[in-house]
Structure 1
Amino acid sequence: MRACVVHPAGGLRVEHRSPAPLGAGQVTVAVALGGICGSDLHYYRHGRVGDFTVQEPMVLGHEVVGHVTALGPGSEGPAVGTPVAVHPATPCDRCADCAAGHRNICADTRYLGSAARTPHVQGGFSQLVTVPAAQIRPLPPELDLRRAVLAEPLSVAVHAANRACDVTGRRVLVTGAGPIGCLVTAVLRHRGAAEVVVSDLLDTPLSIATASGATRTLRADDAGADAAADAWAEPFDIAVEASGAPPALRTCVERVRRGGTVVLLGLLPPGEVPLLGNIAVTRELNLRGAFRFDAEFDEAITLLAQGLPVDAIVTHTFPLADAHAAFDIAHDRAVASKVLLDLTDA
């Protein structure tokens, strides 16, 4: 099979690899589509994501859908040929966090295409991927693969919305109109947020945010302009920082009301980042991290099948052989949002 592999010395290669052996309780999936995530881009361009550094060749990708090709001994999974999405996480199910229902922050979890542990967990940008049967989700017949490939990032957005708590009738700020920010926007509006204002530095992402349900968009570099003054006139009840940019986090902290909530979703640069701690103290803000997801994966599939307005987020599709071009386009936020790899056309 062929796979998209990042190397520790730098560089992205489409290589031939042997499929992983199919063991008891496992399922093999022929991957049809994979979405390029921000973490994949960081591994490609910088060799790291936050504190996780590439130490050995690693297949990228954790947003994948396809069709079941084989079931291992004792596997209780969908029949061969069934279209499925792959949940990328395998928590340990033994630690205190798993026992408390916080499987998404299990320190011993295995996550497709992650350098968080060594040996690294190989990812899903390969023509065949083998995972525990519990990670396989059959797709509703009305959900096509091109929408279903958004299940993983949408799960991240659903988890962030859960961390924001009840958003019904609330005024919400989302900083960052990348794929995750736009998916968060769609979920917030679906859950009844009265206003969702989205800020970004580029016009194309903001237009996609509008298509995803934003009630208003703002250029972050025009925050002081008269045209934006009324948008900032009233504080927000909730802010979701989805860009990973320290200035955006500052905006969130400054713009929420006293007693408001800031959800930190975007991964910030490694090391220490300045934080307006005194504002957080004197306004008694709720600062809440949001990391990955767990059972939200099933809700995300349901939302996609129900027609959540997210189609505008997928902007490009490339064959696996053109992985370099796909990653380069995905990095250009002026023209692209979610970029897909088509692994059936390798």
Structure 2
Amino acid sequence: MPYTTQPNTAIVVHGAGDLRVEELPAPTPRADEAVVTVAFGGICGSDLHYWRSGAVGESILREPMVLGHEVVGNVTVAAADGSGPAVGTAVAVHPATTGTAPGRYPANRPNLAPGTTYLGSAALLPHTQGGFARHTALPTRMLRPLPAGLCLRDAALAEPAAVALHGVHRAGDVAGKRALVIGAGPIGALAAAALRRAGAAEIVAVDLQELPLRIALEVGADRTIHAADVAAIDAVEADVVIESSGNRHGLASAVRGAARGGTVVMVGLLPTGPQPALVSLAITKELDLRGSFRFVDEITEVLAALADGSLAVGPVATHEFAVDDALEAFVTAADSSVSGKVLVRF
């Protein structure tokens, strides 16, 4: 049955607390777009923020928006201009479109380009619609064919794993170093996996919940610490810290747990506006504090690592729901005591 006659079920947020499963019109691709029939979508923290509060930082929901940027599927209709993969190709999606707004940034870091858009983002108006739909038209430059032997369900972790890997890359060479991961949710767990692959000598994970700590151990951490154990965190003295909790308490733990002269990479996005921070301690320790925002093209490296087994991600995905059960999926994803990465099956 052609995709144009199939239900195009999508997950649409209309406002804070207003999440709906709707039928959308079939997509009409442009010449450089392929139609992808989505197999799985991973629920990200940003999706949860749009659902619960109607905003992510300064990106405020002003119109209904299809959520989702962690999507994988199969090409149903190839691009009319001949670019991109053929019909039937299994693909992951790089959800960014590099911006062209005025402003300076390093040419080799297009993730920092002003005006860059991301699937399922309310940063601009009209919003950039996301990929949580059974059929979606996407520019072929976003599509990454899966390596042989890599299944779509495992590839559904590629986008968040790329975010984690970018954070590890921002830390520099971690081989032989002691690493501390603050916040062992999906991004933190994937960071632990990336640190293990990169040759870190010891990896310590910190979280408030037992489930994420257990997952971190399964994918690469050597030991864990409960976030309330301040003395134990201070005693780590890590060469490299990946802060993935996205809150000021986690950033304070990162500064305390870093060794003198160490590097703290801030992957977790803190709320907009001023935040209290242990700046004096960061100064006296001569810490390098580095931001990490999304990723460049690490998704290609991730897909290869998933295919050859050098990056362990399986335990991170703890739940899978049918698209018709989207609300239950979001409720589950919002509770880190019971879930890791939650996948929606389209």
TM category, shorter: over 0.9
Provide the residue aligned with 1:192 in structure 2.
199
Provide the residue aligned with 1:148 in structure 2.
155
Provide the residue aligned with 1:104 in structure 2.
111
The 8 Å contact of residues 27 and 75 in structure 1, kept in 2 or not, is answered as no
Output aligned runs, 1:120-199, within 5 Å.
120-199=127-206
* Candidates 324, 327, 330, aligned match of 1:324: 327
Name the aligned partner's letter for residue 114 of structure 1: S
Which portions of structure 1, spanning 4 or more consecutive aligned residues, are displaced by more than 4 angstroms? 93-99
CA positional deviation for 1:255:
1.9
Provide the residue aligned with 2:218 in structure 1.
211
- CA displacement, residues 215-255 of structure 1 (integer Å, 9 cap, x when unaligned): 1111112334xxx4xx6435111111101121110011122
1:302 corresponds to 2:304: yes
**Secondary structure class of the residue paired with 1:146:** helix
* Candidates 43, 49, 56, aligned match of 1:49: 56
Structure 1 residue ranges without an equivalent (≥5): none
The 8 Å contact of residues 105 and 113 in structure 2, kept in 1 or not, is answered as yes
With normalisation by structure 2, the TM-score equals 0.94
User: Relative to structure 1, is the Cα distance of residues 74 and 152 closer, same or farther in structure 2, using a 3 angstrom cutoff?
Assistant: same
Output aligned runs, 1:242-321, within 5 Å.
242-307=244-309, 308-321=311-324
Provide the residue aligned with 2:32 in structure 1.
25
Provide the residue aligned with 2:94 in structure 1.
87
**CA RMSD across the alignment:** 1.5
**Identity of matched residues, %:** 51
- CA displacement, residues 93-137 of structure 1 (integer Å, 9 cap, x when unaligned): 686657611111122112100111111100010011111111111
User: Relative to structure 1, is the Cα distance of residues 148 and 234 closer, same or farther in structure 2, using a 3 angstrom cutoff?
Assistant: closer
The 8 Å contact of residues 16 and 53 in structure 2, kept in 1 or not, is answered as no
* Candidates 118, 129, 140, aligned match of 2:125: 118
User: Relative to structure 1, is the Cα distance of residues 195 and 112 closer, same or farther in structure 2, using a 3 angstrom cutoff?
Assistant: same
Number of aligned residues: 338
* Candidates 36, 41, 58, aligned match of 2:43: 36
Structure 2 residue ranges without an equivalent (≥5): 1-7
- Measured in 1, the distance between the counterparts of 2:244 and 2:236 equals 21
* Candidates 82, 107, 122, aligned match of 1:75: 82
- Measured in 2, the distance between the counterparts of 1:192 and 1:199 equals 19
Name the aligned partner's letter for residue 198 of structure 1: A
With normalisation by structure 1, the TM-score equals 0.94
- Residues 26-35 or 11-20, more deviating: 11-20
